[in-house]
């Protein structure tokens, strides 16, 4: 198979962790006899600095021509003074998600039993580790509804974000959750705020009806977002597939990541309905965390989330399950061998980004 990939490292730690992920990708493909063609493009702050725009036309063009996008992370203090609309996150990552209609964000939260000590959660709360997956709706809700800021007649200032959801949008993400649940423990927890929000009431109805009609083998639980945030640290084992709207998913998936050890360990796949040249889903793969400006340039960032994003890409956009597994096992073995970056070292001696990358490569 010939894989064509657009690589968009982005800002701050983005390029550092990408520099670890690329050799891992090259290595695993070489071993299995596949060929790789990739090109690296500016995005986010790097796009603004080098092309005057967070999502340069040439970057978008390269993404269109590729089978999948491997993304780093964007944004940071350097560009925070720009008008909000021009800032890296809003002007590159969100348009990319929208442009390629990547409505389903899949974030696996896996903490293996033998790595429990990397979690900040008390071990007796997670005796069997953690194994859940967050399915976050990614192209609707507050992120994409109408926005405005207006100075009112009395001089007060009003800002508005709108949360909009259609039945069809909820149905298609529910189908992703159903398919995900079927390959797992067959349980979906819908997280919402149906005691207050109109959109949440619609979510409950649509998800409930859809599961009743098409997936009677799946059990469904409803939980409010505030309670979910609490349950996530109290008893994470109760969750299998967590289904939720865009912003709740943004918040809850960070919490899930840290329960599973660290945000630095969590990969994500953003999938849509487009099919690539290999008949597989076109997708964007990125760490769930951000650019971590505070540790950028110091060889401190955990590259695992970026490396595990490569595994998700090989699995979802190319059907290369064995290669994906090989990468996941190499990361798992590295961490189990006690080789850890500071975020998961629990105060013990940590290694840097590059050394972590070498250790993963050696175990591949």
Binding footprint of ligand IPM on the chain (CB under 6 A): 75, 89, 93, 250, 288, 290
286 binds Mg ion (CB under 5 A): no
Active site residue 254: yes
For the CB of residue 247, give the shortest distance to ligand IPM in the complex, in Å: 8
Rounded-to-10 torsion of CA 243, 205, 167, 222: -10
Picked from Mg ion, ligand IPM, none, the partner binding residue 270 (CB below 5 to 8 A depending on kind) is none
67 or 89, CB closer to ligand IPM? Answer: 89
Active site residue 167: no
CA angle (186, 165, 279) in 5-degree steps: 60
Picked from ligand IPM, Mg ion, none, the partner binding residue 89 (CB below 5 to 8 A depending on kind) is ligand IPM
Picked from Mg ion, ligand IPM, none, the partner binding residue 131 (CB below 5 to 8 A depending on kind) is none
Q: Angle, to 10 degrees, between the axis of helix 321-336 and the axis of helix 13-31? A: 120
114 and 76 Cβ atoms separated by less than 8 Å:
no
48 or 93, CB closer to ligand IPM? Answer: 93
Token readout for 95 is: 């348009």
Active site residue 131: no
288 or 306, CB closer to ligand IPM? Answer: 288
For the CB of residue 254, give the shortest distance to ligand IPM in the complex, in Å: 7
Residues 212-271 touching Mg ion, rule: CB under 5 A, are 250
192 or 255, CB closer to ligand IPM? Answer: 255
Catalytic residue among 4, 38, 53, 254: 254
134 or 206, CB closer to ligand IPM? Answer: 134
Residues 6+ apart with CB under 8 A from 34: 1, 2, 3, 320, 323
Alpha helix ranges (H) inside 140-271: 167-182, 198-214, 225-234, 246-259
For the CB of residue 14, give the shortest distance to Mg ion in the complex, in Å: 14
- Can you tell me the distance from the alpha carbon of 227 to that of 231, in angstroms, rounded to the nearest whole number? 6
Backbone angles phi, psi at 169, to 5 degrees: -70, -35
Which positions from 81 to 110 touch Mg ion by CB under 5 A, shown as an x/- string?
------------------------------
For the CB of residue 361, give the shortest distance to ligand IPM in the complex, in Å: 27
Catalytic residue among 192, 250, 285, 300: 250
How many Å from the N-terminal Cα to the C-terminal Cα in the chain? 20
Residue number of the CB atom closest to ligand IPM: 89
What residues form DSSP beta bridges with 35? 2
For the CB of residue 281, give the shortest distance to Mg ion in the complex, in Å: 22
Active site residue 193: yes
HSE value, Cβ hemisphere, 13 Å, CA-based, for 2: 3
Picked from Mg ion, ligand IPM, none, the partner binding residue 332 (CB below 5 to 8 A depending on kind) is none
For the CB of residue 203, give the shortest distance to ligand IPM in the complex, in Å: 18
286 and 107 Cβ atoms separated by less than 8 Å:
no
70 and 235 Cβ atoms separated by less than 8 Å:
no
88 or 236, CB closer to ligand IPM? Answer: 88
- Can you tell me the distance from the alpha carbon of 248 to that of 228, in angstroms, rounded to the nearest whole number? 10
Picked from Mg ion, ligand IPM, none, the partner binding residue 93 (CB below 5 to 8 A depending on kind) is ligand IPM
Size of the site for Mg ion (CB under 5 A): 1
What residues form DSSP beta bridges with 352? none
Rounded-to-10 torsion of CA 196, 190, 139, 273: -150
Catalytic residue among 12, 143, 282, 285: 143
For the CB of residue 214, give the shortest distance to ligand IPM in the complex, in Å: 28
Q: Strands, E, within the chain: which ranges?
A: 2-10, 35-40, 68-73, 104-111, 130-137, 147-151, 157-161, 187-192, 219-224, 241-244, 267-275, 281-287
Residue number of the CB atom closest to Mg ion: 250
53 or 278, CB closer to ligand IPM? Answer: 53
Question: Which residues here bind Mg ion, judged by CB under 5 A?
Answer: 250
Could you list the active site residues?
143, 193, 226, 250, 254
């Amino acid at each position: 198979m010939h894989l064509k990939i657009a690589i968009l490292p982005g800002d701050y730690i983005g390029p550092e962790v990408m520099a670890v992920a690329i050799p891992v990708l090259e290595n695993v493909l070489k071993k299995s006899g596949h060929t790789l063609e990739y090109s690296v493009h500016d995005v986010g702050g790097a796009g603004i600095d080098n092309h005057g725009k967070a999502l340069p036309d040439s970057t978008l063009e390269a993404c269109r021509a590729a089978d999948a996008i491997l993304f780093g992370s964007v944004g940071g203090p350097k560009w925070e003074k720009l008008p909000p609309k021009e800032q890296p996150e809003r002007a590159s990552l969100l348009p990319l998600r929208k442009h390629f209609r990547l409505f389903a964000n899949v974030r696996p939260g896996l903490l293996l039993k033998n790595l429990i000590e990397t979690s900040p959660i008390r071990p007796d709360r997670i005796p069997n580790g953690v194994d859940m997956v967050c399915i976050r709706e990614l192209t609707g809700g507050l992120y994409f509804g109408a926005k405005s800021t207006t100075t009112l007649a009395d001089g007060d200032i009003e800002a508005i974000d709108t949360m909009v959801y259609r039945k069809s949008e909820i149905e298609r993400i529910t189908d992703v959750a159903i398919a995900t649940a079927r390959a797992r423990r067959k349980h979906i927890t819908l997280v919402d705020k149906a005691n207050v929000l109109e959109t949440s009431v619609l979510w409950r109805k649509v998800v409930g009806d859809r599961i009743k009609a098409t997936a009677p083998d799946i059990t469904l639980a409803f939980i409010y977002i505030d309670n979910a945030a609490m349950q996530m640290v109290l008893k994470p084992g109760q969750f299998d597939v967590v289904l939720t709207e865009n912003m709740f998913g943004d918040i809850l998936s960070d919490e899930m990541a840290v329960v599973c050890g660290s945000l630095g360990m969590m990969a994500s796949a953003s999938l849509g309905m487009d099919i690539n040249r290999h008949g597989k889903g076109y997708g964007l793969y990125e760490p769930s965390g951000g650019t971590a400006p505070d540790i950028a340039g110091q060889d401190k960032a955990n590259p695992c989330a970026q490396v595990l994003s490569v595994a998700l890409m090989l699995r979802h956009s190319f059907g290369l399950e064995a290669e994906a597994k090989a990468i996941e096992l190499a990361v798992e073995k590295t961490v189990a061998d006690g080789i850890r970056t500071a975020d998961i070292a629990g105060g013990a001696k940590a290694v840097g980004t590059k050394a972590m990358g070498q250790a993963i490569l050696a175990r591949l």
